[in-house]
C-alpha cells in the first residue's frame, strides 16, 4: 500500500472498489510498458493470438475471440495497424506474422512475462488462483457474465 492512513479490515471493504483499482493499475502499467516498445494492448492481443496459430489465424474468429477484451472495432483497428506496420499479412482472411511481426511479438511476449512476474511478486500461485476463482464467483453472484479464453 502507498498510504499510511488506517483502513477498515479487508472483510469490511468493498470488492468493487479494489477490483476497479486493481484493473486500472494493471491496465495503466501494461499499456504504458507496451507503449514504450511501440505496441498497443489490442495489437498485443492480436499478436498473441497469431502466435497460437502458426498456419494463420482466421480474421473473423480472432475478432470474435478477443473483441470482448475491448471492442471488436478495436481489434479491427489493431489488425489494420499491425498490417500497416508490416507485422502481419492477410491472405484469404488468414492473419500471419511477417519476420518483423514475429520479432515484435517476441519482444512484447518477453515484456508481458516480466510484467506478470512483477504482478506476482509476493503472491503465491495458490493465492492467485483463489483470487481468480473468487472474482469469477462474484461476477456470477451479481448476475454478470464474463469469459476469457
Q: What is the CATH number of the domain that holds 82?
A: 1.10.10.10
Residue 26 in domain: no
DSSP notation for the chain: ----S----GGGS-HHHHHHHHHHHHHHHHHHHHHHTT--HHHHHHHHHHHT-TT-EEHHHHHHHHGGGS-HHHHHHHHHHHHHTTSEEEETTEEEE-HHHHHHHHHHHHHHHHHHHHHTTT--HHHHHHHHHHHHHHHHHTT------
**Domains in the chain, number:** 1
Provide the pLDDT for residue 7: 87
Residue 2 in domain: no
Q: What is the pLDDT along the chain (149 residues), one digit of tens a residue?
A: 556 888 888 888 899 999 999 999 999 999 999 999 999 999 999 999 999 999 999 999 999 999 999 999 999 999 999 999 999 999 999 999 999 999 999 999 999 999 999 999 999 999 999 999 999 999 999 999 888 87
Provide the pLDDT for residue 146: 85
Provide the pLDDT for residue 42: 97
Residue 100 in domain: yes
**pTM for the whole structure:** 0.88
Domain that holds residue 39: 35-115
Residue 41 in domain: yes
Amino acid at each position: 500500500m502507498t498510504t499510511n492512513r488506517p483502513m477498515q479490515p479487508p472483510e469490511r471493504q468493498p470488492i468493487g472498489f479494489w477490483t476497479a483499482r486493481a484493473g486500472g493499475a494493471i491496465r495503466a502499467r501494461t499499456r504504458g510498458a507496451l507503449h514504450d516498445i511501440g505496441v498497443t494492448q489490442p495489437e498485443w492481443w492480436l499478436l498473441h493470438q497469431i502466435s497460437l496459430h502458426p498456419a494463420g489465424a482466421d480474421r473473423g474468429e480472432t475478432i470474435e475471440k478477443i473483441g470482448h477484451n475491448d471492442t471488436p472495432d478495436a481489434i479491427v483497428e489493431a489488425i489494420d495497424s499491425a498490417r500497416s506496420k508490416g507485422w502481419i499479412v492477410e491472405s484469404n482472411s488468414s492473419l500471419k506474422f511477417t519476420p518483423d511481426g514475429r520479432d515484435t511479438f517476441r519482444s512484447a511476449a518477453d515484456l508481458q512475462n516480466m510484467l506478470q512476474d512483477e504482478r506476482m511478486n509476493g503472491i503465491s500461485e495458490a493465492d492467485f488462483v483463489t483470487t481468480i476463482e473468487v472474482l469469477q464467483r462474484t461476477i456470477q453472484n451479481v448476475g454478470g457474465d464474463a469469459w476469457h479464453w
